[in-house]
Amino acid sequence: MKAFNGFPPGKLYTTTVPNLFFSELLPAIDDLVELKLTLYCFWALQQQEGEYRYLIQREVLDDELFLRGIDDDSAAATQAVTAAFAKATARGTLLHVTVESVNGPEDLYFMNTPRGRNAVQAVEEGRFEFGGRDCPVALIIERPNIYALYEQNIGPLTPLIGDELRQAETDYPAAWIGEAIQLAVERNKRSWRYIAAILNRWQTEGKDDSGHARQPSQADRYRYVQGEFADRVDY
């Protein structure tokens, strides 16, 4: 079993689950795959926009990260998730309709909410026009936020460092902070002072697409090698 490192500090994306799920569905669901699929549906539907929000069974069965959490054998995982769709539909959690697409029939699943029921009615009345999706919804491994990156690569997250990171989030793009931490690790300069110096340099001198600051002048080189940043910047 892979250990979970815990939820990192800072802002995290969240998924809303109705209280009714915990009072009625959670005690009733006795199949782990059905439970996982139900939670997956809450997450996936909230990644979408528009009037009609639905899951395409084929897309869920193509979500490798989700299926790996069901069974190491892909065929067994596919069979288990397909059965879980049927169980969730029989329970009334999901609503199932089949629509025609250019590639043949597609199985769509809506959450049994007022919006989902309206969508199913629209399908039945011919008011729903299915055109497929350009970007399937799928689980991804989220990149750690800057607090987790610091703890994993630099050192303990003290209150002072936490304040510095919060200020850095305001002053610099998150991608810059992640890249600066990576550079500090690569150069074995694991300190916030070094990371802050990199960020300050990128902000004052500019940063090219490769992640480096512009080429410094001779005066800049001496300022970094012999001046106040001599203990932080490695040339």
**Residue type, position 113, single letter:** T
Contact 8, 21 (CB under 8 A): no
Classify 146-226 by CATH class: mainly alpha
Break the chain into its structural domains and give their ranges.
Answer: 19-124, 146-226
Pairing relationship of beta strands 94-101 and 104-111 according to DSSP bridges = antiparallel
**Residues of the chain falling short of pLDDT 70:** 131-144, 208-235
pTM equals 0.59
Task: Determine the Cα–Cα distance for residues 122 and 115; give it in Å rounded to an integer.
Answer: 11
In this chain, the answer to whether the domains covering 19-124 and 146-226 adopt an identical fold is yes
Task: Determine the Cα–Cα distance for residues 156 and 147; give it in Å rounded to an integer.
Answer: 10
pLDDT of residue 212: 52
Pairing relationship of beta strands 55-56 and 104-111 according to DSSP bridges = antiparallel
Yes or no: domain 19-124 corresponds to CATH 1.10.10.10: yes
Task: Determine the Cα–Cα distance for residues 67 and 89; give it in Å rounded to an integer.
Answer: 19
Look at the block and give the residue holding tokens 């065929």: 75
